[in-house]
Every structure is written in C-alpha cells, then in structure tokens.
Structure 1
Amino acid sequence: MDAASLAQSTTGTLANYARKMSHSGRPDMKIILDNHDEGKIYTTFDALSGRVEITAPHNARFDEIQITLEGTTKTYVENLSPHTTRARTTAMHNFLKLTMPIRDADYPQPRIAEAGQTYKFPFNFVVPNHLLLRACSHKCNTDHVHHAHLQLPPSMGCREVSIQDDLAPEMSKVHYAIKVKVLRNGEQDGKDAVLIERMKKLRIVPAQAELPPMNILTGNTDFVLSKTKTLRKGMFSGKLGKITVAAEQPSAIILPSPSSNSTLPATAMATVNLRFDPQDASSQPPRLGGLTTKIKASTFYSARPAEFLPSHYTMSTHFDTVRGIYDTSVPLSSRCVEAVSWTKHKAAPAYTRRNSASSSSSSDCSDHVSEVKPGSEYYSATVLVPITLPSTKTWIPTFHSCIVSRTYTIDLNLSIHTPGNGVPASNVSLHLPIQIAANGNQNERMPLTVAEAAAELADAEEFLRPRVIEVPSAEHIGNSVLVPAASDLPPSYEDFAASQPLSQMVEPGRC
C-alpha cells in the first residue's frame, strides 16, 4: 500500500470512529458539578469540582481526554462599507483556558473504551482573580487600560445560564464553560481528531472592587454633572433668576456575594444640590415638580482590540467601522419633590482681604476686596435620590475587556415650575457616571490538600530556620586573588589592574 493510500486509510479510520461515536454509536458523556444548581452564580476563588462520566456503546480506541475551563468573548460588527462583500466582521477572544491534568493511571490500559463500561475522570478548577499577561498582548495607550483588560469579565449575553435580560446585545457575548474532548491522534499526520466533545456553560460574576471617581475631562459630553438655567416670571415678564442643579458621581452599586443570603436589592445614593440666585429681592424660589431617574447601560463591542477605555466621547473622536455601541435604559423611579424646602443664605464675597502673615512668600500682588451687592441673597436645597436596581433584570459589574466593555450612567430629570402664567415647566437633566461593583468570596481561601499543606509547612520551617553568622576559619582567609585579566574585572578596575604588577594586586580576602 502506497503512502497516499495509507493516509487515506488512516483518515477514513478516524472518520469512521468519529461517525460511529457521533451517530448510531454516540457515547454517553456527562459533566457533573458538585453542589451545582441551575442558575447558580460562581465568583472569584470559587471551586469548580466534579467529574466527567463517559460510557461508550462499543469498543473505541482513543488517546487523550481534555478537560478545560475556558472563557471566550465573541463579537460581530455589521459592515456598512460598500467596499466589502462581507455582511459582518467577527472576532473571538479566548481569554481563559485552564487545563485539568489527568494521570496515566486514570486512563484504561490500553486506551480502549470498552462497551458498556463507565469511566470517571475527576476535575477541580478554581475561578482565578485575574488573567495571565498573555491574555492581553496588544498595544494599550496606558497601563490602566492593560490592567483593566486583565480582569475577568462577567458572563454576558448567554440565556442558557441567565434567564433574565442582562441588557447585552446579540453582537457581544461572554461565555464560560467546562469543555471535555475525546481525542484520537492521527498516525500519519500526527494531528488530533476530536471524536466527541461536550461543554457545560457556567455563569461567573467575578469580584469587582469599587474604583475611584472618574476624572471627567472638559468637553466630554457623556456626562453632565452640573447645569444652570435661567427662569422667567411669565411669558412676557422679566427674569425670575437662575437655578443651578449639580451632583457628584455617586458611590458604586455593589452587588452582593453569590453566597450571601441577603435579599436586599443593591442600592446607592445620589445627592442633588440646588441653588437659586434670584434676579431681585422680590423673586422667590421656584416650585419643584417631579424627579425621574433611570439607568443607562452602554455596551461597547469591537472586532479589534481596544487601546483605550471606550466611551461615547472617545468613540466619536476615534471613529472606527469595526466598533459599535448598544445603549438601553431601564426606569428606576419617579417621584414628586415639591415638598423640598429652600434655605436662604447671604451671598459671601468672592474675595476677602488676606492677612499678609498668611503668605509664605513675598508677592507683588496687593490684597483685593470684592464688591458685594448689599442684601445679595441666594437659596439652596438638597434632594437625596436613592438608586435601586430592579430585580427584573440581570445586572453585571462594570468591566472593560479587550473587545467588549460595559458602563453605566444615571440620568436624572428634574421639572421646575415658575409662578407666572403661560410659562411651561422647565426641565433640567443630569447624566452621572456610576459603577456597578461586585462582592466575591475573596476572603475565603480554598482548603489545601495534604501535599500542599506539607509543602507550605516545609517552606515556612526553612524560612524560619535559625542562621548563625560566624568568622570564617583561617584556612579560608587570604586565598582569593583577583584575576589579572582586565577584561574579567569591573570597568573601574581596568586601569588599576593594567598598571599594577600581580604581586601588588588587591586580595579581597584580606580586606
């Protein structure tokens, strides 16, 4: 039989094996997780222990069984350019792959699965707290971006593990799964053929710590933290004054740990500060109306790795046809704030006289005194806005990966009524950034095996073993002589070694 016939025969044999195992002779393969329930959420440092059970209906030869924990991100972007015939551009990022080693003793000898016999292969994985450096090997404009890409993203867009909507589009998905493959090695080409493959998808929400408040640059239209509006007394009347509505970025909404028994919803609090500057002394503060709150989830997806943290502002300034944005909003609350009371204040001068003793250095600038209008006044009020995530949606933490990101914004809309007739209510809207963080099980450490505990104890005892430092014995003193070759000496010794005879060279042992 020639080489071509042999290769064809080998290929046909592997094809027959795969055909038998995938059709009439499909083996029974089960992936069993310990203490697993449908809809269970796993987080950082959680153990994924279980076993794989394989029962073959007929004798079948194989070479290897691979059991892996894998994390994959998939995206696609619709092509709008007329210069391409492809409907979409797709991308897939395999950011996590942990392999469970299987001992030779666990395999049948020879490696032939006998008909009707069930073979069990245990596995044990731990959800890591970060990814390896090679998971993000592309260029990033800052180290902060690279660090964000090395954090585990949460499961997103998979209805098999989360029945409720997580606000993710079809264009972006993040999957975790335990995969099992039965491989047969080709005798001719040496390539592995997959005889059968199974997977069990998991829902993983890694721990995500609360980050510092964002530094919002000037010109960034994504967020509006303050807005001032002029109010009028009536349609044809003069001005009533100016009202300023401002708020800071609220603290993060922290999702509870999956192991927590708390039934309280995740909540944060935003503080809205109001200031009314009347046009004259007779102008009174306006009457407040309704305050509506909603949260906007923005999913950024791309077919190319991102070098920066995406936002609407950066996407508009760095336009790219292989990137997309999906925005969706969820109403949170709507309530009347008419009962909020205003507090009257005397306007403080913009500048006050500074004591010369308070200056630490001499200056050519003289002190200034501001000009304050007599009787100048303003009014202030504060509105506390609770932010509670509704349980009708599946909420995932804020994250940034190489090709998918998720951010959140709180939209506040306040209606203001003036006392004049014929003047419609004014609306002031703010857009505040907010982070959704997550509590994991980071305080829980996996129990050590007997071998790991013994190795750790041995390392600790070796580290704590007493050391004795003593003067070396006489036979070891004065035996070291510097080599005369100048090339082997430090650079600063070259000239010295070249000008001194060997008998006059330094003996470090006598120093």
Structure 2
Amino acid sequence: MYAASIQSTTGTLAGYARKMTQNGRPDMEIILEDHNEGKTYTTFDPLSGRVEITAPHEARFDEIRITLEGTVKTFVENLSPHSTKARTTATHNFLRLSMPIRESDYPQPRIAEAGRTYTFPFNFVVPDQLLPRSCSHACVSDHVRDAHLRLPPSMGGRSFSGQDDLTPEMAKVNYAIKVKIVRTRERDGQEVVLVEGSKKIHIIPAIAEEPPMSVTHLDKDYVLSKTKSLKKGMFSGKLGKITVTAAQPNALVLPAPSASSTMVPGTTMTTVNLRFDPHDSSSQPPRLGGLTTKIKASTFYAARPAMEVPSHFGMVHQFESTRGVYDTSVPLSSRCVEAVTWTRHTPSPAYVRRNSASSTSSDDCSDEIHASPPKENKPYYTAEILLPITLPTSKAWIPTFHTCILSRSYTIDLSLTIHTPGTGVPASTVALHLPVQIAANGNNARRATLTAEEAAAELADADEFLRPRVLEMPSPELVGNSVINAGAELPPSYEDFAVPRRSVVSRG
C-alpha cells in the first residue's frame, strides 16, 4: 500500500531517489572508535564503530550494507596512434569484508521515519592475508602468488600524513568503510542504491623482511660489484684496477603505527669493500673522494595482471603498452672518504717446491710434480667503508609490496669518486645499485577487541571444551569379541597373520 503511494507520487524508484536528493539527502555519519585524522592502522587492528543514519522524511529501503573495502586503481597512457582512448584504466577490488546486520537492528517495517536517527554498529579487523580469489590469474611461481595475496599499503595521497609517499598519479591504493542503502525495484528485481557514503582509512600492514635476493648477471636492475681500470695520467701508463663491492643490506624496518613518533626511522647498514690491484709494484692506491648515496623508489603499474615480479629490464626486454614505471630518488647522504686506510696484502705463492727428502713417494718423478713454476702473485690493497643508511623523515615511506597490477620496490644507489695521481685525468666514478627492502612492523601480538557477542560465543566454546567427561567400562557383551576376518580380504602381505602359526614340541 505504501509502495503504491510512492509509485503514484514518483512513478518509478529512480524518481523516488531523485526526490530524496531534491528534498534533502539522509544524514549519514560513519563514526570510528578511537579514531583521529592521520591515524594509521596495521595488521590485526580493530575497526569498530557505528553508522548513524537520519532520514529527512519517510523512506522505504530493503537493506543496509556496511563493508570494508580495498581497491587498487591504475591507468596507463596510450602512446599508440591507433588507439582512440587517451588511457587504459584498471581497478582491482582485492578486499571486501561485509558486516552482517541483525534483523532486530532494522526498523519494522523497513521504513525510516522522518527525523529519527538509526544506529548500525560494525566491527572489522585488518586481515593479514587476502582470499585466494583475490589473485585468480596465472603466475610464474607460488612466490609471486603469495606476494599478490598480501595486503598492500595505502598509497597515492597526502590526506593522512601530509607527506609525499613518492607515488605517481597513475597509481592508488585506497581503503574505506563504505555504507550503502539499497532497495530492490519491484518491477524487475534490480537493486538500486538510494544513498551511499564512505570513510577512508590509512592502512600500513605488517610486512616481514624477505630473504635476500639472489642477484645474477641476468638481473640488470642491480649492480653489486664493479671493476674499473685507472690511469696514472693522460699520456701515462696504467695505474691498476679497482674493484668496488657492496653487500646487499638488510631491510629498512618501519616502526609500528602505535609506536612513539620519536622513534628512530628505518635504519640499516652495508659494507663497501674496495680492492686495488696495482699494475706494477710501484703503483700506490688512488685517493678516494666522496661517497654519495640515494634511495630510488620504483612504482610499477599496469592495466593487466603481472605474472612475475616486475623489473626495469623485464619491461625493456618485453615491452607492453599496458605497463609503466615511475622512478624517483631521494638523497640519503654525502660524505668524504678520503681518510679511508688501505691495507697491503702480499699473497703467498700458489705452489711451493718441496724438498725431495720430504717426499713419501718412491717414484723419482714425485718431486717434479711439486716443482711446477709458481704463478705470478702481486701485492694488492683492500679497504672497507661502513655505510649507514637511514630513511629521511621528510617523506612518507611505505613498505615494499607486489600486487596483481601495482608494485613498489627500492634500490640504494652508491656513487664513489676516485682521484688518480696524474694531472689532466678527470676523477673516475664507480656506481653500484643495491636492492633493498622496506619492511613494516605491526601489532602482530595484539588481538582485536571482541564484541560482547563474540566474547560470549568464545566463552561457550571454552566451556564445552572443558566440560567434564564420564568414562565408563564397556558392556560385558562387547569385551573379548573383536574378530579379525582371516579370509581373503586381508592384504597379500598379511597371510602369515591370517592363520597363527603353532609351534610343535616333541616329547621324548
């Protein structure tokens, strides 16, 4: 009857929705407990609160949906002249948690009274893993799929921290609590969203440090060691060769969001090893100059799912118009390493002639085997530089992650300046590119606060588990009556057990 009056007034449900908009939208407010602007949530943190809805006039509805959703959005500019679209966009809804609403919370009938406020509570927990259906495309390995099933961090906006997170406009990761008021259309059964609202939240999930990367010669993105020849002067001979090697640093770990803001930001350390092989014995190690470090953030975005972990070399080797990368660097430190001390090493010969008297072999040729001419062994010099790496607080850092269409990785770029003793020779520069991870601590030991209903259910399960059991003796008719079928149903290897053997004792 009420539906008929609505239809006679507006004609259709769409007209009814337009009338609601014209006469005033329902006042919808999403309230999070213990929330403040700029707060960051992490794994296992509770997201509890309520939704308050006040209708300006009577309105009929069928359902109210409260969800926690996570979405990745990317777009790639089309460079092909044959395409009519300016860009290709992609959206991946990787997370959707629904809050069930009790029937008693709804008004009966489901007609919102004018001016009355209705409250619907919700309680979510930030998960530590996504469902397998969140990544349904093919992957080259289980490692890639496992990475795609982890929660990515929020990125692509300054609304929470006010700092730049080095993300281009082509990529965004958003989390939000969304509320929709839905009504089903009578004439065709289609659902129509009457009113909807959302509240964005900032999530940096706990991401553990992965094992160090196995960097091979095929990984063109990284350079862990480099050798360079040096000259004494413009027209002089060779000075020697210098080799610069650096170890892959441990991960930079971001503190948990609940930790004090005065904590030291992510810090790690690596060792730069130097080796100088002189061209002749009179050549001395070169004078070192400055060591400059910076961190490069690479954001890989795509309009199609990635089957493997993206890289710069892979994008060049297998060019696809639906993929892109955005690189930006942040300076870390610049220091003078001229005072580094070189250590001289004089290696022992590879082969040493032994005295024939010490030979244990009776063969006359045994002494000749150990009398091979020794290899040339020149002295060389080594040095070490301990290099601390600290993330600057001027940026909003997010951990390393990989999703189906979006990834973030980091590289430490080292640049060492070397001065030769001759005049007229410009300073040489050796550059290394080290992979580095940014991990994030979370409140893994913290358990989300239970609601009253969840606490009661858990207590009931505990009582059932601890309920005393009564042990009784079996009935007399069941004692000693277990019979093993000794027929053909026994496996072939159990023939000896089918008929017990009896030993025969002869009596003398």
TM-score category, normalised to shorter length: 0.7 to 0.9
- 1:422 aligns to what? 424
Q: Structure 2 residue aligned with 1:446, among 422, 445, 448?
A: 448
Paired letter, 1:85? T
Is 1:136 aligned to 2:139, yes or no?
A: no
Q: Please state whether the residue corresponding to 1:422 is helix, strand or coil.
A: coil
CA shift at 1:238, angstroms? 0.7
- 2:25 aligns to what? 26
Within a 5 Å distance, the mapping from 1:44-83 to structure 2 comes to 44-83=43-82
User: Aligned pair count?
Assistant: 475
Q: Structure 2 CA distance, aligned partners of 1:368 and 1:313?
A: 50
Q: Structure 1 CA distance, aligned partners of 2:53 and 2:160?
A: 24
Rate the CA distance shift 1:286–1:60 in 2: closer, same or farther, 3 A: same
Rate the CA distance shift 1:373–1:23 in 2: closer, same or farther, 3 A: same
Q: Report if the CA contact (8 A) 1:242-1:279 is conserved.
A: yes
Q: Structure 2 CA distance, aligned partners of 1:255 and 1:246?
A: 27
- 1:308 aligns to what? 308
The CA deviation string for residues 106-135 of structure 1, in whole angstroms up to 9 with x for no partner, is: 111111111111111111100000101111
CA shift at 1:16, angstroms? 2.6
The answer for unaligned runs of 5 or more in structure 1 is: 357-365, 497-505
- 1:400 aligns to what? 402
CA shift at 1:481, angstroms? 9.3
Alignment TM-score, normalising by the size of structure 1:
0.86
Paired letter, 1:285? P
CA shift at 1:470, angstroms? 7.2
Q: Structure 2 CA distance, aligned partners of 1:204 and 1:370?
A: 67
Moved more, 270-279 or 260-269: 260-269
Rate the CA distance shift 1:12–1:434 in 2: closer, same or farther, 3 A: farther
The CA deviation string for residues 390-444 of structure 1, in whole angstroms up to 9 with x for no partner, is: 1111110000101100000000000000111111100000000000000000011
Q: Structure 1 CA distance, aligned partners of 2:61 and 2:387?
A: 63
Moved more, 65-74 or 210-219: 210-219
CA shift at 1:21, angstroms? 2.9
Q: Report if the CA contact (8 A) 1:158-1:175 is conserved.
A: no
Q: Structure 2 CA distance, aligned partners of 1:367 and 1:14?
A: 100
Paired letter, 2:458? A
- 1:126 aligns to what? 125
CA shift at 1:477, angstroms? 6.2
Q: How high is the sequence identity, in percent, across the aligned residues?
A: 63
Within a 5 Å distance, the mapping from 1:92-491 to structure 2 comes to 92-261=91-260, 262-349=262-349, 371-373=374-376, 376-448=378-450, 449-458=454-463, 460-461=465-466, 473-475=476-478
Moved more, 399-408 or 441-450: 441-450
Rate the CA distance shift 1:228–1:59 in 2: closer, same or farther, 3 A: same
Q: Report if the CA contact (8 A) 1:155-1:203 is conserved.
A: yes
Rate the CA distance shift 1:349–1:104 in 2: closer, same or farther, 3 A: farther
- 1:361 aligns to what? none
Q: Structure 1 CA distance, aligned partners of 2:456 and 2:31?
A: 26
Q: Structure 2 CA distance, aligned partners of 1:427 and 1:193?
A: 65
Q: Structure 2 CA distance, aligned partners of 1:249 and 1:215?
A: 10
The answer for unaligned runs of 5 or more in structure 2 is: 360-368, 500-508
Q: Report if the CA contact (8 A) 2:243-2:276 is conserved.
A: yes
CA shift at 1:251, angstroms? 0.4
CA shift at 1:83, angstroms? 2.9
Q: Structure 2 CA distance, aligned partners of 1:289 and 1:282?
A: 22
Paired letter, 2:385? V
Q: Structure 2 CA distance, aligned partners of 1:368 and 1:206?
A: 65
Q: Report if the CA contact (8 A) 1:302-1:322 is conserved.
A: yes
CA shift at 1:385, angstroms? 1.4
Q: Report if the CA contact (8 A) 1:291-1:335 is conserved.
A: yes
Q: Report if the CA contact (8 A) 1:21-1:196 is conserved.
A: no
Q: Structure 2 CA distance, aligned partners of 1:305 and 1:9?
A: 49
Q: Please state whether the residue corresponding to 2:315 is helix, strand or coil.
A: helix
Paired letter, 1:454? L
Paired letter, 2:318? H
Q: Report if the CA contact (8 A) 1:176-1:201 is conserved.
A: yes
- 2:505 aligns to what? none
Rate the CA distance shift 1:310–1:460 in 2: closer, same or farther, 3 A: farther
- 2:362 aligns to what? none
Paired letter, 1:150? L
Q: Please state whether the residue corresponding to 1:431 is helix, strand or coil.
A: strand
Q: Report if the CA contact (8 A) 1:17-1:60 is conserved.
A: no
Q: Structure 1 CA distance, aligned partners of 2:201 and 2:371?
A: 67
Rate the CA distance shift 1:474–1:122 in 2: closer, same or farther, 3 A: same
The CA deviation string for residues 61-105 of structure 1, in whole angstroms up to 9 with x for no partner, is: 111110000000111111222332122211111100000111010
The CA deviation string for residues 464-488 of structure 1, in whole angstroms up to 9 with x for no partner, is: x779697774447668798x9x9xx
Q: Report if the CA contact (8 A) 1:154-1:205 is conserved.
A: yes
The CA deviation string for residues 184-243 of structure 1, in whole angstroms up to 9 with x for no partner, is: 111121121101110111110000001110011222210000000111111111111111
- 1:501 aligns to what? none
Q: Please state whether the residue corresponding to 1:259 is helix, strand or coil.
A: coil
Moved more, 389-398 or 469-478: 469-478
Rate the CA distance shift 1:45–1:459 in 2: closer, same or farther, 3 A: farther
Q: Please state whether the residue corresponding to 1:23 is helix, strand or coil.
A: helix
The CA deviation string for residues 35-75 of structure 1, in whole angstroms up to 9 with x for no partner, is: 11111110000001111111111111111110000000111
Paired letter, 2:67? T
Q: Report if the CA contact (8 A) 1:249-1:433 is conserved.
A: yes
CA shift at 1:323, angstroms? 1.1
Q: Structure 2 CA distance, aligned partners of 1:345 and 1:299?
A: 44
The CA deviation string for residues 336-356 of structure 1, in whole angstroms up to 9 with x for no partner, is: 1111111111125567899x9
CA shift at 1:389, angstroms? 1.1
Q: Structure 1 CA distance, aligned partners of 2:13 and 2:352?
A: 89
Q: Report if the CA contact (8 A) 1:91-1:303 is conserved.
A: yes
Rate the CA distance shift 1:215–1:115 in 2: closer, same or farther, 3 A: same
Q: Structure 1 CA distance, aligned partners of 2:371 and 2:95?
A: 63
Q: Report if the CA contact (8 A) 2:352-2:374 is conserved.
A: no
Rate the CA distance shift 1:242–1:16 in 2: closer, same or farther, 3 A: same
Q: Please state whether the residue corresponding to 2:23 is helix, strand or coil.
A: coil
Q: Please state whether the residue corresponding to 2:137 is helix, strand or coil.
A: coil
Q: Report if the CA contact (8 A) 1:73-1:172 is conserved.
A: yes
CA shift at 1:311, angstroms? 0.8
- 2:502 aligns to what? none
CA shift at 1:160, angstroms? 2.9
